[in-house]
Amino acid sequence: MQYDEYAAIYDRSGQLRFSVLMNLYLRDLLGVHRVKGDTLLDLACGTGTLALLMAERGWRVIGIDRSAGMLAEAQRKRAAAGEPIDVHFMQADMRSFELPEPVVLATCCYDTLNYLLDEQELARCFSAVGHALLPSGLFCFDLATDYFLRYYWQGVEFEEFDDFTQVIQSHYDHATGYSTLVLTGFVAAGGGRYRRFREMHVERAYSDDVIRKLLLRAGFEVEGLYDCFTMEAPNERSLRLMYVARRRSSG
């Protein structure tokens, strides 16, 4: 499964930084878009960094992810904290899941919804989140823009760390609008040997019209739309957008 092998090096390769920044940004967003209560679903929680940081701030968190490898890392980090932390991790698909209890806040961060490659899949995810939220609950998610996928997810990147090396090759298909990233990792396996793994990640962007249409159908109203990590409106060169959608209090 995608991310299972990447999981062990995901945080150390620098990806953890995103959740640290998102934790701070969510504090700003929630200062403006308020919710009553303290229950959070972090959808596609990955290695659990955001879930754990939010729990430190008093949220009672459920983290859902499809990858057993990512969840194992998340569990390991929770155990390493040494003290009881109110985070429960669950393996599930973000297009079809049910929570034991509805929550007041749902987050889905770091391009994850860009992995859903057609409108039906996105609609299924929005519907599942709608059911997981209490009336008036808030759904905050970021999306990479077409501009980002077209101009930034491009070319070849090579990074060398103490015990692993990664090569990232990205390509934007102008015909389909799909962006494909091939990650090849070489992880030290002792005795000067390296274990090689390869994962393919495909993302696509969605227009604002489509996102609003699907949110509306799933019972949400868009309450805020930002150039991600700022409180400013998006512009034509925004790399990432942050949607703040409120579940309607009825229906």
CA–CA separation, 111 and 204 (whole Å): 9
Q: Does 75 bind ligand SAM (CB under 6 A)?
A: no
Q: Does 205 bind ligand SAM (CB under 6 A)?
A: no
Minimum Å gap between C-beta 142 and ligand SAM is 9
- Chain position whose Cβ is nearest to ligand SAM: 46
Selected binder of ligand SAM within 26, 99, 104, 109 (CB under 6 A): 109
Stretch that binds ligand SAM, among 32-40, 63-71, 145-153, 216-224 (CB under 6 A): 63-71
Angle at 152 between CA 148 and CA 154, to 5 degrees: 125
CA–CA separation, 45 and 246 (whole Å): 20
Minimum Å gap between C-beta 94 and ligand SAM is 4
CA–CA separation, 91 and 30 (whole Å): 27
Q: Does 5 bind ligand SAM (CB under 6 A)?
A: no
Residue 67: strand, helix, or coil: coil
Stretch that binds ligand SAM, among 110-118, 151-159, 167-175, 227-235 (CB under 6 A): 110-118
Q: Does 89 bind ligand SAM (CB under 6 A)?
A: no
Q: Does 148 bind ligand SAM (CB under 6 A)?
A: no
Distances from the Cα of 107 to the Cα of 37, 104, 174, angstroms: 15, 10, 30
Q: What is the DSSP string of 93-148?
A: BTTB---SS-EEEEEE-SSGGGG--SHHHHHHHHHHHHHHEEEEEEEEEEEE-HHH
Selected binder of ligand SAM within 111, 179, 226, 241 (CB under 6 A): 111
Stretch that binds ligand SAM, among 88-96, 153-161, 165-173, 190-198 (CB under 6 A): 88-96
CA–CA separation, 55 and 146 (whole Å): 33
Residues forming the site for ligand SAM (CB under 6 A): 3, 15, 18-19, 44-46, 50, 65-67, 70, 93-95, 109-112, 115
